[in-house]
């Protein structure tokens, strides 16, 4: 309809007889999926949620473990998350770190200070086991941390914790 045509004339004008649109199989797919790929099953979506949960657990556990080594958090706060061997090893390492005299080296007093977890990656090993890695940035260095998480009844427990 142009500016010169009245609404009544536009209503009386013949209507185009173009054929209706129809869907063609193999046509355009929604963005984000390659053409011809099936929709992701609900099981895969559940695994993605579980992996995000594992990454969150790993991030908080690694942050707390580094704080234990720095002496700003008691190791017993990790008793529910770590199995007994990991907890004992972490307590032992924290005790050794505290025994290092600050005057022994210029960096000894600043070990594990101002640490933050930069990234976490998780890999599913089996239905009840994940392995994760984390990158921790401290004041003086960058560390790698490796974890193994196993499902224990209703919770995930860290059964291996290696801090580089």
Only one residue has tokens 């473990």, namely 65
Pairing of strands 116-126, 155-163: unpaired
Residue 86 main-chain phi, psi, to 5 deg: -65, -40
User: How distant is the alpha carbon of residue 162 from its chain centre?
Assistant: 18
* CB count in 10 Å sphere of residue 69: 21
- Residue 148: predicted pLDDT: 96
Bin 133: left if φ > 0, else alpha if -120 < ψ < 50, else beta.
beta
pLDDT band per the 50, 70, 90 thresholds, residue 44: low
| 97-119 pLDDT, tens digit each | 777 655 555 555 555 568 889 99
Average pLDDT over residues 92-101: 80
Distance set, CA 27 to CA 20, 39, 162 (Å): 16, 15, 50
Q: What is the pTM of this model?
A: 0.66
pLDDT of residue 138 exceeding 90: no
Which has more confidence, 66 or 26?
Answer: 66
Cβ–Cβ < 8 Å for 121, 133: yes
C-alpha to C-alpha distance for 86 and 158, rounded to whole angstroms: 8
Whole-angstrom distance, CA of residue 54 vs CA of residue 14: 64
3-state secondary structure (DSSP) of residue 146: strand
């Amino acid at each position: 309809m142009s500016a010169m045509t009245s609404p009544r004339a536009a209503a009386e004008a013949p209507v185009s007889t173009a054929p209706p649109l129809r869907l063609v199989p193999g046509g355009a797919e929604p963005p984000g999926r390659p053409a011809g790929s099936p929709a992701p099953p609900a099981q895969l979506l559940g695994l993605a949620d579980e992996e995000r949960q594992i990454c969150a657990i790993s991030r908080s556990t690694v942050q707390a473990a580094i704080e234990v080594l720095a002496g700003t958090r008691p190791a017993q706060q990790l008793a529910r998350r770590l199995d007994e061997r990991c907890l004992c090893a972490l307590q032992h390492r924290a005790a050794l770190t505290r025994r290092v005299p600050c005057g022994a080296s210029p960096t000894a007093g600043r070990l594990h200070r101002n640490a933050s977890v930069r990234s976490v990656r998780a890999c599913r090993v089996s239905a009840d086991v994940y392995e994760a890695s984390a990158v921790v940035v401290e004041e003086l260095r960058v560390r790698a941390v490796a974890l193994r998480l196993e499902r224990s009844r209703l919770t995930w427990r860290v059964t291996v914790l290696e801090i580089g």
